[in-house]
Amino acid sequence: MEFKILFNINNLLFTDNRPCQTPDFILSNDYSFREKFYTKDFITELGKAETRVRKESVFAYSIISNNAPMGRIDLLNELRREMFEKMQYLDGFLIWLWFSKDSCVYVDKVSGQIDEIENGVIGIHSNSNAWNSSGEKEDTCFSENEIRAAIKIADKYREVCTQNLVSIDDILQNERTNTPLIMGHSEGYNHNNNNAIQRSFIFLAGGRKIKYLPYRIAMYMPIFECLFAIEASEVTQKISERVAFYLSDDKEERKREYETMKIGYDYRSRFLHGDTFKKKHINIENSKPISIKIDDFARRSLTKIILEDASKFLETNSEKRNDFLNDIIFR
């Protein structure tokens, strides 16, 4: 007996027709296979709208053998459990694609079926969501090299941040774990157990779910505070300087990045202090380029930190870490 699980993935395209395969699921844009996957009962149960997708869209599927003696209800419950588990792994996989480029890829719907039993079809909706840095949902095309680059960052993240993490390597090696990708469940979760990189990921995950750009920008700014701040004093000045000097060696580029960070902090201050936004803040022509740049700063900062400087940013001695952060400017 087989459990067939199909995942609708929003806003993901491949540059070629080569599938991306892991022990738990396969990502593909082979629409001919997807059409064969649907049975008449499957389409009738879920409705044609649930099974209609564009031919170029990437989807994921998983076929699981189950020969345990079970009744119909137990089989459907086991299918549902497998659907939620695989959805968690797939969500973890897709999150890392943001590290390759600005994107809003996420699992939308999950459908499961057991051909051998009557009405053996289940459909569930994912709670995942994401918007790109422009506050839009747009398709993003990834090459195999870009996917592998994201996997490399995820593997390195697992190496330096093993706590509260399900990594790409966990998925590829089929290591079973119930630990969430970024942060623990509310029950028993302790924020203080997370290091600076993990804390920044909490704000990143929250910020990417926000469409309204002034709010999104405000939510992104604590990412940099988690990474580049030790003391609460002079946050805007210090962090803006440190980010600019960390990301660029060019004097003019540093100035531009510094000014962008200061504007980002203006959004943050008004939002978190309950102040009103000025017209320039809510004007999409003003907020969109700031949001795009801040998103880019976050991606470049986290990528460089994870791949090159994790030990320095995770230094537990606050004095040594502060010396390192000051040296970014005076190097």
Q: Mean of the per-residue pLDDT values for the chain?
A: 83
Per-residue pLDDT, 81: 92
Helix H, strand E, coil C: the string for 70-130 is CCHHHHHHHHHHHHHHHHHHHHHHHHHHHHCCCCCCEEEEEEEECCCCCCCEEEEECCCCC
Whether this prediction's pTM lies above 0.85 is answered by no
SS3 category, 184: coil
Say what the pLDDT of residue 172 is: 40
Which segments of 14-56 does DSSP mark as H helices, in order?
Answer: 31-37, 40-46, 48-51
The mean pLDDT of 183-198, rounded to a whole number, is 66
CA distance 28 to 225: 38
Per-residue pLDDT tens digits for 284-313: 888 999 999 999 999 999 999 999 999 999
